[in-house]
Structure 1
Amino acid sequence: MEGHMFECVNQAAVHEELEDETRRLCDVRPFCPMLKLVTRNCGRAERLLDSKIGVLIGKGLHELDALQDQEVKDFRSKMFRISEEKMQRVQLMTWSEWLQACFSPQLEPGGGATPVTDGVNDKQAEASLKVTMHFDQSQVTTVSRVVFTILYTLSCHQAGVTSTILYTLSCHQAGVTSTILYTLSCHQAGVTSTILYTLSCHQAGVRAGLFHGTELLCKPAVSSESSGRSEHVWNRTLEFDITVSDLPRMARLCFAVYAVMDKVKKQKSTKNAHINKYQTIRKAGKVVCHTQSTDELEEMLNPIGTIQTNPYTENSTALHIHLPDYNPHPILFPPFDKLDGRVKGKQPTSAQHFHIELKEIMERDPLSQLCENEKDLIWTLRYDCMENFPQSLPKLLLSVKWSKHEDMAQLQALLQIWPKLSPRDALELLDFNYPDQYVREYAVGCLRDMSDEELSQYLLQLVQVLRYEPYYDCALTRFLLNRAQCNRNIGHFLFWHLRSEMHMPAVSVQFSLILEAYSRGSIPHIEVLKKQVEALSKLKSVNELIKLGTIKNARSKTKEAMLTKEAMMTCLRQSGYTETLSDLHSPLNPSVLLSGINVEKCRYMDSKMKPLWIVYNNKLLGGDTLGIIFKNGDDLRQDMLTLQILRLMDLLWKEANLDLRIVPYGCLATGDRSGLIEVVSSADTIANIQLTSSNVAAAAAFNKDALLNWLKEKNSGDALEKAIEEFTLSCAGYCVATYVLGIGDRHSDNIMVRSTGQLFHIDFGHILGNFKSKFGIKRERVPFILTHDFIHVIQQGKTGNTEKFGSFRNYCEQAYLILRRNGNLFITLFALMLTAGLPELTSVKDIQYLKDSLALGKTDDEALKQFRQKFDEALRESWTTKVNWMAHNVVKDNRS
C-alpha cells in the first residue's frame, strides 16, 4: 500500500488516482469496471492529500502538474509554501485561538463572558472570549477573433523598439485547406505579425485593435477585403499610431479575422482565442492557442474576452504564434518610489465655476458617458477631485489618456496619496474598465476594511471579477484566500462559488488553482466540503434515476408517479446513500447540520427537470424538519444574484430603520446547471391558497377573501393583527424590489405567503424588464404585483380603512427613496456580473433598466412622482394580473 495505488478512468473521461481507499466504488463511479495498479511517486500522506483535493475541486491535480505553464507552476509553488507555513501555525494554536481563527466570533467588550477552554492551562487567557450565536429563522460565415494581452514592462525613455510576432491560424472546418497569408506590421508600436488562416468564403478581412480595458488606444487597423472562393492572400502592412513607450502595461492586442458572405448584411460568426500573457513577457518562441466560439457579433474586436485557450482542441481553430526575443535587456516601468518628483507636485485649485461643473459630473451614475471636454476637465482638476470628490476615482481613471506614458506616471503618483475609499465605492474599480495593476491593488487595499459580513455580501461579484485579473497571483486572489482561511463561513462560499464554474474553460485553470490553494491552507475543512460534494453527487444520481423513470413510463402518469417515487425511496434507503447524505453541513448554510433524511417525506417535483424535494430531520432545530430542493438541469445563478440583491436591499432598509420583513431564502449554484434552494417553512403559494378556497379553478383568482381567510385560519386574536402587519411590510418591500429589478413571470405560483403573514417572491428566471409575452403581446402589463386581494388583507378586510393603506403606500415610497440613494451600488454589482454568462445580463444595455427604474439623474421629487404614477398604474391595471392568474390556475388544475 505504501508503494502502490489504484487508478481508473472516471465518468468525465479523466484519469483519477484512488488514493483514499476508504471511498466506495459506487462513489468513484469509474467509466469502465476496471482499475489499474500504479506505482506511487511520492510519500503516501502527500499523495492522499493530493487525491482528496482533486476529488474536492473536481479536477485531478495531475492535470495541473501536466500544464506546461510557468505562471501556473510559480503560483502553485508560492501557494504551497504559504499554505504549509499557515498549517504549521494552526497546529501550534490552542483550541480557543483555532476557534477564533476559523470562525471569527464577535468578541463582547468587558468581562463577564463565559470562558471557553481547551482543558489545558490557559483558562485565564480565554476568560474574555465569548462566542455569540445568532439563529435566523426567517427564511455559413466564419470569423476568427484573437485577443491577447501584451504586458509590456517599459521604461518611459524606451522607444522605437521593434518586434515580430508570427501568427499561424489554421482551421479544420469541413476539410478546407485553403490559406490566407496576412502580414501586419507596426513600425512605431514595434509589432509585426503574420497570420495564416484557413477559410473558404467569398470575401475575408482582418481587423486589429489595441485596448486598455474597453478603451481603444488608437484607431483600429483594417485590411482590405480579399476576394476568392478557395484562397485568400494578404501581404499588406497595418500600422498603429502609438509608440511602444506609450503602451500601457495591461494593453491588449485584439484581432478579428472575418468572412463576409453578403456585402449588405455582413453576417458574421465569431471565434475567440487569447494568448497567455504570462508567456508574452517571460519568454519568446512559439505559442499555440485554440479559439473559442462566441455569439457576440456586434463588435468584432472583443477586449473583454477570456485569455484562456480552448481546452477542446479537436473542434477548435488552432492559432500558432511566434514571439521573437527582440530585446535582450529587461525593460521596466519605474517603481512607485522612483517616479520623477515633478509628477507629484500639487496643482493649483480650480475656479469656483469649474468646481460646480465638476460636482455635477461626479454625481452622475456609473453608466453615464463622459464627453472628451468633461474628461479633460476632470484630468485637469484631478487634485480637486482627490480633495473634494475622492469617490470620483473611477471617473478620473476613465479620463486618463492611457496612450500617454506621462499621464500614466501622473496617475500612479496620484494613487499613492489618494484617500482610501469605502469598500462599497471601491468595488467599481474591479470592473474590466480598470485593468491597471496598481488601480486594482489600490481597490483591494480599500476592501480590507470590510467586515466578514460585508465581504460575504459581495463575495459573488468578487469571484466573478477574478477573471479580469491579469495574473493568477494578484492582490485580489491573495485577499480572498486570506479572508477565507481566516473565516470558515467565507471559505465555504468562496469554495462553492469557484467550484460551481469549474466546467467553464475560460476560468477552469484559474479557479482550480485558487481552490487548491484554499484547500492546502484549510486542511481541516477538506473533509467537511468533500462530504458535501459526495452528497450532491448522490442527489444527482437520484435525479437522473427519476428522469429515466419518467421517460420510460411517460404513457401512464399515475404509474409513472408510483413507480418512480418507489424507486426514489428505495435508492435513498440504501446504506451508501444514507451514510453519504447524513450528518453533513448544509451547502446553503454551513452553520446548519443536516442530520438525517426523512425518506417518507421526500419527493420529486412535477416540472421538466424533476427537482428533488429532500426533507431532513434536524436535531439542532428542536426536532423540526428542514427542506432543501436539489435542481439538476436549471441554471440557478440568476436566482442567486437576485436573492443576493434582495438581501442587500433588506440590509440597506434596515440601516435606515425600515424593516420590511424580506425573506431572502438560500440559493446556491453548485455546478453546471445544478444547485440547491432552501425550502421556506410554513409557507404556501398564492395559487394553492386560492384553489383550496374555491371549487372552480377559473373563479379562484377572483376570490378576494381567500388570502385573508387563510391568514385567519393560521392566526387568531392578536396574532392575526401581527400577521397582517407582517404582510403589509413584506408586500411593500417586494412591490418596490420587483419593480426596481424588473422581475417578471409573476404568476400565482411564484408568490408565497408564510403562515406568520410574510409575503415573498420565488423563481427569478426573468429580471431587468424581460417580461414574458405571447403572440407578441406582453402578458404582464403592470410595473409590479399589487392586487385587490392584497389590499383587502392590508386594510384588514375593511374597505374604508384608508389609514392602513396610507401606511402601506408610505412604506413603499420610503423604501424606493432609500434604494435610489444607493443606485450606484446596484449598478456596480450588476456590471461586475456581466461576463458571468447569465441569460438576461449580457451587456450594459441590460443594466440600463436599473437606471430607469431608480430614476437616476432626476431629483427625489421627480423620482417620487414617477414612482407614484407606477404605483397607481399597478393598482389600476391589477385586473390584468387576476386574468393571468386565472389562466394559470386553470392550466394547473387541468394538469393535476
Structure 2
Amino acid sequence: MAPRPSSGELWGLHLMPPRILVDCCLPNGILVSLECLREAPLTSIKQQLFSEARKYPLYHLLQEESCYIFVGVTQEAEREEFYDETRRLCDLRLFHPILKVIEPLGNREEKILNREIGFAIGMPICEFELVKDPEVQDFRRNILSVCREAVEEREGGGAHTQALYVYPPNVESSAELPQHIYSKLDKGASASQLSLCLKCSVTHRWNEWLSYDIYLTDVPRSARLCLSICSVKGRKGAKEEHCPLAWGNINLFDYKDTLVSGKVALGLWPVPHGLEDLLNPIGVSGSNPNKVSMRAVCLCCRHYCVNIPESLPKLLLSVKWNSRDEVSQIYCLLKDWPLMQPESALELLDCNFPDPMVREFALRCLIQGLTDDKLSQYLLQLVQVLKYEMYLDNPLARFLIKKALTNQRIGHFFFWHLKSEMHNKTVSRRFGLLLEAFCRACGMYLKHLNRQVEAMDKLVNLTDTLKQEKKDETQKVRQKMLLNTYRHESAQAYLYTYRMLLQTNFSVFLCLRLEECRIMSSAKRPLWLNWENPDIMSELLFTNNEIIFKNGDDLRQDMLTLQIIKIMENIWQNQGLDLRMLPYGCLSIGDCVGLIEVVKNSHTIMQIQCKGGLKGALQFNSNTLHHWIRDKNKGEAYDRAIDLFTRSCAGYCVATFILGIGDRHNSNIMVKENGQLFHIDFGHFLDHKKKKFGYKRERVPFVLTQDFLIVISKGVQECTKTKEFERFQEMCYKAYLAIRQHASLFINLFSLLLGCGMPELQSFDDIAYLRKTLALEKNQQEALEYFTKQMNDAHHGGWTTKMDWIFHTIRHMPNEH
C-alpha cells in the first residue's frame, strides 16, 4: 500500500527516524548508501559521501567536493537543488531518502533566491514560469517596477527612512474623529441578467448560441459570464431539488481591454460546502435592495449628490450598468466627485462594485486619507478584497505591495495574510504572484520570513504527530519523548533567534524556554510555547512571551472579532470613553493553523471560582470573584481594580451583544489580576450560538451575572440599587450609542469578508444581525430603549447563564489548567 501523504519530514512520516539510510548517486555512475543522522547538515553528508567514495571504483573521475551540489525530489514531486548546505537532512522534506550529486548550472544566486522565495510562499517559482497566460507574465514584469520604486523610496532617504521602515512608529496619526454619513447603509441590486438559456440532457453536452437582450455597446467594462452546473432531482409533481456541482466565471474583457473571443477552456471550481447560493452567482446582492422609485430619485439628483460625497455607493447601486448612457454620465461625475473618507470608500471595494473606474476612485480616497496605522487596522479586509479584482495587475495590489515594502510592520502581516490563503486554489495564483514580488523586494527580511515559515512547519509536524497518539497510560511518556526530540540543540535551531509573529516590535529576538512549554489537553493538541527576551532592558518591557500554537482550528473568526473589538475601542477612546478593552494578538497563518497570544497574569472565571471551593465551582457562592480581586489588590489598588473591571465589563457587554458572540461559558471569560476582564475564543458570532435538542443553550443577549454585579458594586448584594451600577449602566449606554453612530463602518468591514468562506459569515443574512442589534430602523431614543431592555434581560436572566456554567464546570473541571 502506498504511504499516505504527509506534510512531515519524509513522505508518510511526520518525524524522520534518528538514523536513516540515504542513497547517493555520484556523477561517475556509482551509487553509495550512507547511514546518516536525521539532523546531519548537507556539508557533513557530503564529506561523509566523498570519504566513502574513495573505496569505490572510478573515484578518479570526480572533481573537488565544492564543485558539486545535492539534488533531490521533494514531497511536492518537484526536483530541487540544495545550494544551502547548512540545511539539515530532516529539513529537506524529501519524498524518498535519495540524493543525487550534480554540477550546478546557471546563475547560482538567482536559483538560491528563487528557492528561498518558493519556500516562503509555499510553492515553487517555476510554476509561474510555466504558465502560458500572458496576463501572468506581464503582471510579474510590471509589478517589479512598483517594487523597485518602493525600494528606492525606502532607501533613498538614508538612515532616517530605513529606520522608519524597520521601526514604524505605533502612534495614533490623528486625534480627530472622522465625519461619517449614515444615509448610505442601504444597498441595492447589482446589474445582472439571470435567465434559463437552455436545458441540458443526460448527455451532458450542448453546442448552441446564447442570446441576451443587450447591445454589444451596452456591455459594461466589468461584465463577466458566470456559469454554474447543477443537478436536478425530483419526481413528477414533486418539488425539484437543485444540487450545485461546480461553477466558473469568465471576464468578457481581458486585461488589455479586449473583448474575449474564440474558444476558451474554463476549469470549473468545486462548490464550497454550505454555499448553495452559487446556483445563482450573479443574483441580487446587498442587505436592503433599492426600490425602483428610489433608484429613479438617486439618478435624478446625481448632480446634487456631489455635495454629499458619502452618497456615492447609493448612487452607484442605482445605475443601470448595462446602459452605456448612464455609465458614461457616472464616469463624468466621478472625475469631479470629492474624495470620500477612507472608511466610507472601503464599501466601494466589495463585490457590488466591480467597475474599474469605481475601484480606482476608491483607491484614490484610500491613498489620500488612509494613514499607515489605519491601513494596518483594515489590512485584513483589503487583502481579502483582492479576490474581487478582475485582473492581476490592479491599483489596489500595487498600493498594498508598495505600502508593505515601505513599512515592515505592514509588510509582515501582508505576507502572512496572503500566505494563510495559499491553500485556496481559487486565489493561490493571484496571491502567490504578489508574494513572489514582495519577497524579491523585501531584502534581508526574506531570511527572517523563511525562519518563521520553517518554525511553523516544524510545529505543524509536531502537533500532527501528537494528535495521532492514543489516550492510554503511555500517552504522556510518548509526548515527553517527542518533546525531548526538540530539546536537541540543532533540532531547535529554527525556534531560537525567532521573531515573534504576533509582536509588532520586530527588533526583539526571543529564545524558547523549553521547560515552560507544554502540550495542552484539548483534542487538537495545541502547544503552549514560552519565549524569553534576552535583551538587557527586557524588565522594562517583558521578560518572557507566551503564545498558543493551534493546528486544526480556524482562527479567522477570532482574528476578525478581535479586529472589530480593537476598532470599537478606538472609537470609544476618540469620544473620551476609556473602556479598557484587551484585544490580544491572534494570527491565522495557514489552513486551520494559527497563533494566539497568552495574556499575562490572567485566569478564567472557572479557575477563579474553583479556588472558592465546591460552593464557588457549583455557582452557589457569587462572591468568589469579588473576594479574589480584593485579595489580589490591597489598599488603593482595590479601587483601581474595581474601576478597571467595571469599565472592561461594560465594553465587553456592548461588544459581545452587538456582534452576537456565543459560547460564553466561564472558561471563555478571563480576568487579569489587576481586575481587567476580557473574553476569549470567538468561534461563534453573529448569533450562531450552540444549540441543544434544537434550542439555544444561551438564553440571554450577553453575559451579566450576579458575580459581575457584585464586583461592580464593591461587594454589595443589592447590586442594582447602588450608584456603581448606575455608573456602569451609563457607560454601557454611551458605548452602545457611540458604536451605533459608526454602524456603516462595521457593516462594511463584515461585508468585505463575505468571500472568505468563514463558516458563520457567508451571506448578507448573517450581516443583517448587526442591523438588528444596532437597531438601525429606530431613532436614537428607541434604540437606547431597545438596548436597555436587552441589558435588563441579561442580568435578570443571569441565573440561566450560571446553570450553563455549572454543567460546564462539572464536565471540564479536571482538565482546567
Q: Match for residue 77 of structure 1?
A: 141
Residue equivalent to 1:609: 524
Cα 1:818–1:283 shift into 2, 3 Å: closer
1:220 is matched by which residue type in structure 2?
A: S
Which residue in 1 is equivalent to 2:685?
Answer: 767
- Judged with a 3 Å threshold, the aligned counterparts in structure 2 of structure 1 residues 689 and 50 are, in CA distance, closer, same or farther, namely same
Q: Secondary structure at the match of 1:619?
A: coil
Letter in 1 for 2:363: V
Could you say what secondary structure the match of 2:432 adopts? helix
**Residues in 2 aligned to 1:6 and 1:302: alpha-carbon distance in whole angstroms:** 50
The residue number in structure 2 matching 1:729 is 647
What is the aligned partner in structure 1 of residue 116 from structure 2? Answer: 52
Q: 1:36 to 1:62 in 2, by over 3 A?
A: farther
Distance 1:863 1:7 in 2: 68
Q: 1:234 offset after TM fit, Å?
A: 5.6
Residues 254/2 of structure 1: CA separation in 2 closer, same or farther (3 Å cut): farther
Aligned pair 1:68/2:132, yes or no? yes
Pair 1:858 & 2:773 matched:
no
The code of the aligned residue for 1:778 comes to K
Could you say which residue in structure 1 is the equivalent of 2:674? 756
Residue aligning to 2:221: 249
Say if 2:408 is the partner of 1:488: yes
| Aligned twin of 2:733 | 813
Instruction: Measure, in 2, the Cα distance between the counterparts of 1:696 and 1:561.
Output: 32
Question: CA shift at 1:2, angstroms?
Answer: 9.1
Q: Compute the displacement of 1:366 (Å).
A: 7.2
Q: How does 1:450-849 map to 2 (within 5 A)?
A: 450-548=370-468, 550-551=469-470, 554-556=471-473, 559-564=474-479, 566-591=480-505, 593-620=508-535, 621-622=538-539, 624-695=543-614, 699-800=617-718, 802-849=722-769
Amino acid at match of 1:572: Y
Q: Which deviations, in whole Å up to 9, do the C-alpha atoms of 1:38-72 show, x marking residues without a partner? A: 66553222221111111111111011111111111
Instruction: Give, in whole Å, the separation in 1 of the partners of 2:423 and 2:234.
Output: 36
SS in 2 for 1:830: helix
* Equivalent residue runs for 1:403-414 within 5 Å: 403-414=322-333
Q: Unmatched 5+ residue regions in structure 1? A: 110-212, 306-364
Closer, same or farther in 2 for the Cα pair 1:86/1:873, shift >3 Å?
closer
Whether the 8 Å CA contact 2:147–2:402 is kept in 1: the answer is no
Q: In the aligned structure 2, how far is the partner of 1:631 from the partner of 1:385?
A: 49
Letter of the aligned partner of 2:670 in structure 1?
M
Letter in 1 for 2:197: V
Gap change, CA 1:10 and 1:299, over 3 Å in 2: closer
Unaligned runs of 5+ residues in structure 2 are 1-64, 174-187
Deviation, structure 1 residue 219: 5.2
Map of 1:219-234 to 2, 5 A cutoff?
220-224=195-199, 226=201, 231=203
The question of whether the paired residues in 2 share the 8 Å contact of 1:659 and 1:729 is answered with: yes
Q: CA deviation at 1:601?
A: 1.0
The equivalent position to 2:354 in structure 1, one of 416, 429, 435, is 435
Task: Work out whether residues 521 and 815 of structure 2, in 8 Å CA contact, stay in contact via their aligned partners in 1.
Answer: no
Trace 1:166-315 onto structure 2 (pairs within 5 A). Answer: 215-218=190-193, 220-224=195-199, 226=201, 231=203, 238-263=210-235, 264-275=239-250, 278=254, 281=258, 285-294=262-271, 295=273, 296-298=275-277, 300-303=279-282
Against the structure 1 CA distance between its residues 40 and 385, is the aligned structure 2 distance closer, same or farther, given a 3 Å change threshold?
farther
* Aligned partner of residue 243 in structure 2, secondary structure: coil
Which one-letter code corresponds to 2:704 in the other structure? L
Shift of the alpha carbon at 1:846?
Answer: 0.4
Report if the CA contact (8 A) 1:686-1:752 is conserved.
yes
Letter paired with 2:770:
L
- Choose which of 332, 336, 340 in structure 2 pairs with 1:421: 340
1: distance between equivalents of 2:66 and 2:423? Answer: 33
Q: Secondary structure of 1:523's partner?
A: coil
| Cα 1:23–1:80 shift into 2, 3 Å | farther
- 1:238 deviates by 4.1
| 1: CA distance, partners of 2:742 / 2:607 | 36
- Asked whether the equivalents of residues 460 and 551 of structure 2 are also in contact (C-alpha less than 8 Å), the reply is yes
Q: CA deviation at 1:36?
A: 3.9
Task: Give 1:112's aligned residue.
Answer: none
CA distance in 2, matches of 1:517, 1:422: 30
Answer yes or no: is the 8 Å Cα contact 2:350–2:751 preserved in 1: yes
Cα offset, 1:368, TM superposition: 2.7
State the shift of 1:19 in Å: 3.4
> What is the CA-CA distance between 1:626 and the residue it aligns to?
1.2
Deviations 1:97-137 (A, max 9, x none): 3213444448999xxxxxxxxxxxxxxxxxxxxxxxxxxxx
Q: Which amino acid aligns with 1:297?
A: E
Letter in structure 2 aligned against 1:582: Y
Q: Secondary structure at the match of 1:873?
A: helix
State the 1:299 CA deviation: 5.1
CA distance in 2, matches of 1:98, 1:237: 59
SS in 1 for 2:594: strand
| TM-score of the superposed pair, with normalisation by structure 1 | 0.77
Matching residue's letter, 2:764: V
Give the letter for the 1:844 counterpart: F
List per-residue Cα deviations over 1:835-877 (Å, max 9, x = no partner): 1010000001000000000001211100000000000000111
1:383 match: 303
Q: Cα RMSD between the aligned structures?
A: 2.6
The answer to whether the Cα contact below 8 Å between 1:594 and 1:616 also exists between their aligned partners in 2 is: no
Identical aligned residues as a percent:
41
Shift of 1:369: 2.1
Secondary structure at 1:23 match in 2: coil
Amino acid at match of 1:595: L
Amino acid of the structure 2 residue aligned with 1:421: M
Q: CA–CA distance in 2 between the matches of 1:657 and 1:541?
A: 48
Corresponding residue for 1:189?
none
Contact 2:705 2:802 in 1 (8 A): yes
Whether contact under 8 Å (1:219, 1:241) holds in the other structure is no
Decide whether the 8 Å contact of 2:143 with 2:398 is kept in 1. Answer: no
Matched-pair contact (CA < 8 Å) for 1:500–1:670: yes
Q: Give the 3 Å change call, closer, same or farther, for CA 641–603 of structure 1 in structure 2.
A: same
Q: Distance in 1 between matches of 2:737 and 2:315?
A: 28
Q: Report the CA distance between 1:397 and its aligned residue.
A: 0.5
- Residue identity in the other structure for 1:763: D
* Cα deviation code 1:567-592 (max 9, x no counterpart): 24312312233221111211111415
Distance in 2 between residues matched to 1:714 and 1:636, nearest whole Å: 32
Deviation at 1:778, TM superposition (A): 1.4
Q: How far, CA to CA, are the matches of 2:169 and 2:67 in structure 1?
A: 44
Distance 1:573 1:686, change over 3 A: same
Aligned residues: 724
Which ranges of 4 or more aligned residues in structure 1 deviate by more than 6 Å?
1-4, 106-109
Residue 164 of structure 2 corresponds to residue 100 of structure 1:
yes
When normalised by structure 2's length, the TM-score is 0.84
Label 1:498 to 1:803 Cα distance change in 2 as closer, same or farther (>3 A).
same
Distance in structure 2 (CA, Å) of the matches to 1:70 and 1:233: 30
**CA spacing shift, 1:792–1:568, aligned 2, 3 Å:** farther
Tell me how far 1:3 sits from its aligned partner.
Answer: 7.9
The aligned residue for residue 185 of structure 2 is none
Ranked by relative contact order (alpha carbons within 8 Å, sequence separation 6 or more), the top structure is 2
Quote the residue 1:172 is aligned against. Answer: none
Q: Residues 87 and 741 of structure 1: is their aligned pair in 2 closer, same or farther, counting only changes over 3 Å?
A: closer
Residue 341 of structure 1 corresponds to none
